[in-house]
Amino acid sequence: MHKPSPATFSLSLLTISSLLQTSEISKMGNLFCCVQVDQSTVAIKETFGKFQEVLEPGCHFLPWCLGSQVAGYLSLRVQQLDVRCETKTKDNVFVNVVASIQYRALANQANDAFYKLSNTRGQIQAYVFDVIRASVPKLLLDDVFEQKNEIAKAVEEELEKAMSAYGFEIVQTLIVDIEPDEHVKRAMNEINAAARMRLAANEKAEAEKILQIKRAEGEAEAKYLSGLGIARQRQAIVDGLRDSVLGFSVNVPGTTAKDVMDMVLVTQYFDTMKEIGASSKSSAVFIPHGPGAVRDVATQIRDGLLQGSFANQS
């Protein structure tokens, strides 16, 4: 007897494995009156076209010769349906509302889910349209964005009430997107940008106001302190002149206060000339100067002081 080679044996196993992974296994099952139901799925068994029972996941005996057959399979997994609904708001803005519906068939009502609805997704979509188009027109555009959870809850309640009679459970309803018209979106962005620019302008103006106030306060304080310095400087000059006159009169007999003042003025005159000559960028105005002119300047200053004193006394 010819013994099969290892290569032939491996090929046979590969052929059987491939057969099990194709639809041929179903035909073989029907041939032996057996049917396999996958996990998270139920099968609807009929006998001569009449509903018999719901087959749970596993292997079941199905005598086709007695009129038994599988009418179809029903998935128990959670399915998702995205519905895009166009409607308008209370302020006449057209929006596209995208709702995501998650639903599944109930195992204990599998016969209702299989027989009562011919188009489950179309039925759910119709209810979503009805609820959204009844809710959104009552709201302004801004309120639609703020109350999308309330809209989703209303859709879920309506779907749960309607679809439970057909053997379906609504797991979750979400409003995943609200899309106004492109021109409306652009206008909303411009309004937001203008509001932010106005706020920025107010803040900038307030900052400039504070800066000017602080600058004015600083200038006022600087002028006040400068005035104090000038007053103290003048007081010190007067005190120094007085001390110089008194000291010179005591140490040099026969001198008068006028002589001392003339000498002090001449000394200050030469000090001023020295400072002007030391600066290369001086913008001083020169007046006639000389021995006689100094006396004239002293006379003018003294006469001016005396006239000021007489004016104050009168």
Instruction: Give the 3-state secondary structure of residue 299.
Output: helix
Three-state DSSP class for residue 26: helix
Cα–Cα distance for residue pair 27/1, rounded to 1 Å: 33
State CA 287 to chain mean position distance.
72
Q: What is the pLDDT of residue 304?
A: 63
pLDDT tens string 261-292: 777 777 777 777 777 777 666 666 556 555 55
What distance in Å separates the CA atoms of residue 92 and residue 138, rounded to the nearest whole number? 10
Q: How far is CA 283 from CA 269, 273, 275, 277, 280, in A?
A: 17, 13, 12, 11, 9
Residue 172 CB neighbours (<10 A): 12
Q: What is the pLDDT of residues 199-253, one digit of tens each?
A: 888 888 888 889 899 889 988 888 888 888 888 887 887 777 777 777 776 776 7
| Residue ranges in the chain modelled with pLDDT below 50 | 1-2, 6-29
Q: Return the half-sphere exposure (C-beta side, CA atoms, 13 A cut-off) of residue 30.
A: 9
Q: Which CATH architecture has domain 79-180?
A: 2-Layer Sandwich (3.30)
Cα–Cα dist 43/54, whole Å: 6
Question: What's the longest Cα–Cα distance across the chain?
Answer: 166
242-278 burial, b at 16+ Cβ within 10 Å, e below that, comes to eeebeebeeeeeeeeeeebbbebbeeeeeeeeeeeee
